[in-house]
Amino acid sequence: MTAALPAVTPKLVIARRRTVAINVLRLAAALTIMLVVQSGSLTRALADDCVADPGPKYQPIAGLPDDSFPVCYLAPNDANKAAYTALQSRHILEVYSQFLSPLRLPHPLTLVALNCQPNFNSDSPFYSPGDRALHFCYEWYKVVLQWAPTATTPEGVTRANVITGMWAGTLLHETGHAVFDMLDVPVFGREEDAADEVAAFIAVQFNKDVARTIIKGFAYFWQMAAKAGNDPPTATNPNPAKDATQRCLRDPLCAYADVHGTASQRLYNTLCLGYGADRETFKDFVQMKWLPKARADGCEREYHQLESAFIKTILPFIDPDLRKKVQSIQWLLPTEVQ
Amino acid sequence: MRHSITMTKRSIAGALAVGLLPAFQAAPALAQAPVLPSNPQIQVEYLQPKYNAAAGQNQFNEFTTIYAWLQARRPLEEIQKFLAPLRLPRPIKIEVDTCGAERRAYVSGAPVTVCYELIDKIKKVAAGITGNDALKQMVIVGTFTQAVLHELAYGVFDVLQVPVWGREDDAADRLAAFVLLQFSGEIAHTAMVGSAEFFLLSRKTWTGSAFADAGSPEGQRFYDFLCVAYGGDPLDFGGWTQAPQGKDPLLPAFRTEHDGCRYEYEQVRRAFNLRIMPYIDPDLLLQVKAAQWFLPGEVRK
């Protein structure tokens, strides 16, 4: 099913570093000229480049600020028009902007949907500290659509779960990078894993339907990525054709040099944090042996460690009243949490 | 193919070999121990090996040999001195014990454990290195030192209530690597080269649900060590980024590009300064860094 897929690199954030890819810097420089984010709103220059909302217009959720995190959909190319339409009509960025409203960052974080090919030579969304913007690639949305199952899987994952879980999980992952950067959060472990932890942790702070949709969808995506060859080749079976990154053709071990965990690690890390947060809600993960018991036994401890880290390093920057309001809202549509 | 990890390194036979940990085979006499106080909050114990019927008599004999060697050399007592600057609100005990596996998961309040099984594995991996006694010694000394600091990191995270983002096992690796890099080139070299070589030589094939393990594949640990080392000291470890003709560099360009390893090192450094440095006695730290941990003549520059 996935063998015919393009050699995408389903790795969130290549440019999460302070010193980012050259093409990111180019964009950053361009954006710096085009936009000066002032008081949480876009300048007219950027607004001119953003695609106007074709309507129906977004109706902000009452009681939550809608201008803290400026949003912009840049014009899609022909290949990305369908992705743009899907994201824009759902008002993904506008909704996410309000979702983030309890977060108090020292600098504005801009949410931009854009074509990432060919300028960035990647389909993967990224946060770039150079312009303090979260870039959501139209191409990524297409990848998710391609990898989402057409029928409910044996694990009970629906197509809607994966599509919704991935756009939500991806935005949360990238926001993790932004938060680590802007709040100078101490990160002892590998940052890409930490960003996945942010996504999983936030997901399980909401009702069971939302939590299960995001955890299952995010996890299943990485399961598909592993099947598509995004786990490293093995020493005994180098099979370089399965090295989807095409960067380690001479040396299979080199695939482990990536800053991201393997696709399978990301699958199990996500399942583990869901199960660790709420063993009752996610007990089927263990029952169906999606999450091996040997790992499951330590998941509650892993979750509590994550919770402690969140409380110490990020929670102080979250408005408690707005947080309660955000947690009380049903963010996903009924069709998305099936 | 990758070129040798030691190809571009200084040769440092014997580094740490006396001060921190003599090699298992006949080792030179102990150096004059640095005149430093032992950290009273770091307790150590070498437990007698336990017979494991499933593992058999041969393994028990191996562990007994290791136990005798530990009793004679007492490397953990050197670690106590090495950690003299660390001010802990409550004690952490480091013990060597029979675990039935190479690692024993840390439990809050319980000792951190270095398993006989891991020491035995280090010994066996090193024994497989032929024609390079210096590298063999680095694998033993460096990996043991790194392993103790790795396990100890769990206790430090717990006792100091350090927020840990990312998988804890990786965090422990990065903290251990960072600490070792703060010391002399000989310590850093031995620990980083020895540990990395150990990961390389002991790597297993990981597939499917093996990736569910809370610990990381040896390949990831290998590159994490190399990257933090290179990021912290690009002059000493820069050779790892050079590709000899027809070969790949040890550290692929996609990991090092855009100062990626420097970023990773700085990330650990900032985290350390924020969360652990307040518990470090600066005067004792300087004494530890200045201490002669080796016998004169044992370190080849």
pLDDT for the residue numbered A14: 34
Q: Say yes or no: B259 contacts chain A, CB-CB below 8 A.
A: yes
pLDDT, tens only, B108-164: 999 999 999 999 999 999 999 999 998 998 999 899 999 999 999 999 999 999 999
Residue tagged 């989402």 (tokens): A148
B10: pLDDT confidence band, cut at 50, 70 and 90?
very low
In chain B, positions 39-58, which contact chain A (CB-CB < 8 Å)?
none
In chain A, positions 197-216, which contact chain B (CB-CB < 8 Å)?
197
Burial B221-234 (b: 16+ CB within 10 A, else e): bbbbbbbbbbbbbb
What is the identity of the amino acid at A212? Answer: R
Residue tagged 């991201």 (tokens): A260
Q: In whole angstroms, what is the distance from residue A102 CA to residue A100 CA? A: 6
**Predicted TM-score of the model (pTM):** 0.89
Q: Nearest C-alpha of chain A: how many angstroms from B223? A: 5
Q: Which residues of A touch B222 (CB under 8 A)?
A: 253, 256
pLDDT for the residue numbered B204: 87
Q: Say yes or no: A292 contacts chain B, CB-CB below 8 A.
A: yes
pLDDT for the residue numbered A47: 62
In chain B, positions 141-170, which contact chain A (CB-CB < 8 Å)?
157, 161-168, 170
Q: In whole angstroms, what is the distance from residue B240 CA to residue B229 CA? A: 10
Sheet of B112-115: strand order equals B42-46, B92-97, B112-115
Which sign does the torsion angle of CA A162, A164, A168, A174 carry? positive
Best CA proximity match to A176, nearest among A3, A16, A56: A16
Contacts of residue A170, defined as CB under 8 A and 6 or more positions apart, other chains included, come to A12, A125, A136, A140, A199
Q: Which helix (H) or strand (E) holds B45?
A: strand B42-46
Q: In whole angstroms, what is the distance from residue A281 CA to residue B166 CA? A: 24
Structure token digits, residue B70: 């530990």
Q: Which residues of A touch B254 (CB under 8 A)?
A: 245, 247, 257-258
Q: In whole angstroms, what is the distance from residue A198 CA to residue A315 CA? A: 12
This model of the complex carries an ipTM of 0.90
Longest CA pairwise span in chain A (Å)? 58
Residues of chain A with pLDDT under 70: 1-47, 233-246, 249, 338
